[in-house]
Amino acid sequence: MYTILICDDDRDIVSALDIYLTSEGYRTVKTYDGREALKAAEEQPVDLVLMDIMMPGIDGIRATAKLREHSNLPIILLTAKSEDADKVLGLNIGADDYITKPFNPIEVIARVRSQLRRYTSLGGRAAEEAGPHVLTNGGIRLDDGAKSVTVDGEPVSLTPLEYNILLLLLKNPGRVFSTAQIYEMVWNDTSVGSESTVAVHIRHLREKIEIDPASPRYIKVVWGLGYKMEKL
């Protein structure tokens, strides 16, 4: 059984999410501010976090940043329509997705399932693998069996989305993917409005694998078309 940590200062929203998730067989942990969420995540195993952005005390952005210091578990932000800048900031510091309030229960469950599938496929719950499949390009080495990445021999910690973007590009060196294609293949969702989301995750990925992210060796922009993995 997967455990979902819910954090929102609106108790009605927490209660509604609890009902949606428990009805689908998930276990929930209910918290009402960022400090409670961080404490709960330290005290027990959690598989995914649903985190409101705007909260008193430690808000969702700062709580997400703290969680990312030691964990790659999926984090979905709960946002208001007016919080576009915060959505981008949240994705920049490591959130995997966001849901805009008011939300549809079907959308919530679909996004939770999608993130959990991605997380477990990357070994988040010690998923068993048939065997290693190693991809290399220049100094990058991705072992898809061990779900590990090194750059010039140094281990790199990636979020599930960053890993899957890198895996897609490494499997297809030289091929140009549009942002819509990347979103549909990695997020497994329709690509409407996906451009900024993909750009944020690629920028974050570059910061981890490139010596100079402003002048990347590996992930190149093909202006007007998309991104590709440069063959080295």
Q: Report d(CA 85, CA 35) in Å as an integer.
A: 23
Determine contact, residues 157/94, Cβ cutoff 8 Å.
no
Q: Report d(CA 47, CA 36) in Å as an integer.
A: 16
Tell me: pLDDT of 151 over 50: yes
Tell me: pLDDT of 86 over 90: no
State phi, psi for 205 to the nearest 5 degrees.
Answer: -65, -45
Q: CB-based burial of residue 214 (10 Å sphere; 0-12 exposed, 13-18 middle, 19+ buried)?
A: exposed
Determine contact, residues 67/43, Cβ cutoff 8 Å.
no
**pLDDT for residue 131:** 39
Instruction: Return the CA Rg of the chain.
Output: 18
Would strands 226-229 and 75-79 be described as parallel, antiparallel, or unpaired? unpaired
Determine contact, residues 111/76, Cβ cutoff 8 Å.
yes
pLDDT band at 128 (very low <50, low <70, confident <90, very high): very low
145: amino acid identity, one letter: G
CATH fold of 134-229 reads Arc Repressor Mutant, subunit A (1.10.10)
Tell me: pLDDT of 17 over 60: yes
Output the CA torsion 122→69→92→78 (10° steps).
80
**pLDDT for residue 56:** 87
Separation of CA 121 from chain center: 13
**pLDDT for residue 123:** 56
Q: What is the mean pLDDT of residues 88-106?
A: 88
Taking the chain, what is the end-to-end CA distance rounded to the nearest angstrom? 43
Domains 3-121 and 134-229 share a fold: no
Residue owning tokens 């005290």: 43
Separation of CA 83 from chain center: 19
Q: Report d(CA 98, CA 78) in Å as an integer.
A: 6
Work out the percent of the chain whose per-residue pLDDT is above 90. 60
CATH code of 3-121, in short, is 3.40.50.2300
- The chain-wide mean pLDDT, for the chain, equals 88
Q: Report d(CA 33, CA 5) in Å as an integer.
A: 12
**pLDDT per residue as tens digits for the range 114-127:** 888 877 765 555 43
The ranges assigned to domains in the chain are: 3-121, 134-229
Q: What is the mean pLDDT of residues 164-191?
A: 89
Q: What is the mean pLDDT of residues 171-179?
A: 91
